[in-house]
């Protein structure tokens, strides 16, 4: 089993890297969130990896942290979730956002992820709710109905589930209406 790779970044595409380790180039598929945080071609790279074995394919998946790797492997235990869907899920939302959404049964966050419909989101919650560790997360508190409305409005405006959740939690509790909270959340997301 290949547990980690440490080598030079040889090339990159939209969803994968080639890492040169001792003269051997390994193609590694990684979440787009991790791809953005890697250095330039020629820089040193270290990834935690999962080797997915099928009859006709050996695919290597890489992650910046062990936490992302564990979440990826946990997602693979859900019936109907393969490595491509699991990678897409991790590309669309942060590991913390996913863990909180699953632990709270928040289907709105999960269905906002491309490739995850309502039935798949329900299956994720059903099969993983007790398996996901949320200790130490700052986002563990339940969302109020107003926060959920703000989050849904932001998702409908095109923000990712992770951005919408973060902004909904950041808005001032002094804002009483959904409209005021959405306006404040948009200012938060816009940096002003």
pLDDT score for 35: 77
Residues in the chain: 192
Last residue of a domain, one of 63, 78, 110: 63
Last residue of a domain, one of 63, 83, 107: 63
Inside any domain, residue 11? yes
- C-alpha–C-alpha distance, residues 57 and 21, integer Å: 21
Inside any domain, residue 137? no
- C-alpha–C-alpha distance, residues 3 and 55, integer Å: 21
Give mean pLDDT, residues 1-18.
89
> And the tokens for 93?
């939302």
pLDDT score for 136: 55
124 and 72 in one domain? yes
Three-state DSSP class for 23?
coil
Residue 27 has pLDDT above 90, yes or no: yes
Give mean pLDDT, residues 102-117.
82
- C-alpha–C-alpha distance, residues 121 and 60, integer Å: 25
Give mean pLDDT, residues 134-141.
54
- Residue 73, Cβ density class (10 Å: 0-12 exposed, 13-18 middle, ≥19 buried): middle
pLDDT score for 144: 64
Residue 116 Cα distances to 19, 20, 109, 137, angstroms: 30, 34, 10, 24
Number of folded domains in the chain?
3
Inside any domain, residue 150? yes
Range of 100's domain?
Answer: 66-128
Q: What is the CATH number of the domain that holds 29?
A: 2.40.50.140
pLDDT score for 152: 78
Whether this prediction's pTM lies above 0.75 is answered by no
19-23, 40-44, 99-103: least confident range: 99-103
Residue 134 banded pLDDT, cuts 50, 70, 90: low
Inside any domain, residue 162? yes
Give mean pLDDT, residues 59-65.
92
Inside any domain, residue 134? no
Please report where in the chains the tokens 């951005």 appear, as a residue: 163
36 and 11 in one domain? yes
Residue 143 banded pLDDT, cuts 50, 70, 90: low
């Amino acid at each position: 089993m290949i547990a980690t790779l440490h080598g030079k970044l040889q090339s990159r595409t939209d969803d994968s890297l080639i890492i040169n380790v001792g003269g051997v180039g390994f193609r590694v598929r990684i979440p787009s969130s991790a791809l953005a945080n890697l250095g330039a071609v020629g820089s040193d790279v270290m990834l935690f990896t999962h080797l997915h074995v099928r009859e006709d394919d050996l695919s290597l998946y890489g992650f910046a942290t062990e936490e992302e790797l564990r979440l990826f492997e946990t997602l693979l235990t859900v019936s109907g979730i393969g490595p491509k869907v699991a990678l897409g899920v991790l590309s669309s939302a942060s590991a913390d956002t996913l863990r909180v959404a699953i632990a709270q049964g928040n289907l709105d966050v999960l269905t906002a992820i491309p490739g995850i419909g309502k039935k798949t989101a329900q299956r994720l919650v059903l099969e993983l709710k007790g398996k996901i560790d949320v200790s130490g997360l700052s986002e563990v508190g339940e969302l109020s109905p107003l926060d959920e409305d703000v989050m849904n409005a932001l998702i409908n405006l095109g923000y990712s589930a992770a951005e919408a959740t973060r902004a909904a939690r950041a808005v001032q509790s002094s804002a009483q209406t959904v409209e005021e909270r959405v306006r404040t959340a948009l200012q938060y997301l816009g940096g002003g």
